């Protein structure tokens, strides 16, 4: 939203969304802690109303607020995201067997990388770039594998959670009305 590639679509987005909508869109896409000023800039909205929306998002459990550093930052509440993604997986057309098979495939892929590179983690794989003996294509390949490895580790946690809680996450349609 603040880059030099803005065009007609950015104007259209701004005309057809509220500032709060844009803050929520930016907040949903956060991948690392960011300040309210950064989020306000990305959402093309002023600081004070952005801060109010961020407070509501924290109250709703969608973001976490961190006051421990020099600046207050906001980041996704990964627990909430994991639960929501597990519910989406459970509500999809996939069976628990298909999800278990997918989990096995992801674990197998990581074991293959562990064996191929003789490392135990994505960071250990990145460290193999330090000796300078690899060609640029192999360095790029290892960086990409490290990124994919981290992605698979996150997916394994989510899919594993969905499998463990399969029955609990099942949608219920026969709920009795709440009574006081």
> Tens of pLDDT along 134-161?
999 999 999 999 999 999 998 999 999 9
> Tens of pLDDT along 30-57?
878 999 999 999 999 999 999 999 999 9
Q: Distances in Å between the alpha carbon of 90 and those of 1, 31, 129, 149?
A: 34, 24, 39, 24
Q: Which of 1, 80, 75, 63 is nearest to 32 (CA)?
A: 75
Q: Which of 59, 62, 67, 78 is nearest to 35 (CA)?
A: 67
Domain boundaries, the chain: 8-76, 80-164
- Is the CATH number of domain 8-76 1.10.10.10? yes
Is the model's pLDDT at 166 over the cut of 50? Answer: yes
For the chain, how long is the longest CA-to-CA vector? 70
> Tens of pLDDT along 80-121?
888 888 999 999 989 999 999 999 999 999 999 999 999 999
pTM of the shown model:
0.64
């Amino acid at each position: 939203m603040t880059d030099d590639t803005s065009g007609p679509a950015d104007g259209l987005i701004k005309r057809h969304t509220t500032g709060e909508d844009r803050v929520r869109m930016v907040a949903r896409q956060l991948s690392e802690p960011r300040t309210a000023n950064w989020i306000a800039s990305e959402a093309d909205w002023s600081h004070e109303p952005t801060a109010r929306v961020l407070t509501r998002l924290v109250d709703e459990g969608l973001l976490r607020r961190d006051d421990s550093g020099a600046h207050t930052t906001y980041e996704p509440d990964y627990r909430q995201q994991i639960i929501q993604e597990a519910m989406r997986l459970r509500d999809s057309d996939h069976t628990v067997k298909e999800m278990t098979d997918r989990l096995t495939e992801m674990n197998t892929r990581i074991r293959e990388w562990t064996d191929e590179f003789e490392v135990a983690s994505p960071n250990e794989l990145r460290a193999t770039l330090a000796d300078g003996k690899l060609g640029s294509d192999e360095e790029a390949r290892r960086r990409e594998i490290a990124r994919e490895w981290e992605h698979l580790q996150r997916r394994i946690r989510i899919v594993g959670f969905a499998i463990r809680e399969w029955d609990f996450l099942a949608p219920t349609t026969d709920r009795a009305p709440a009574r006081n």
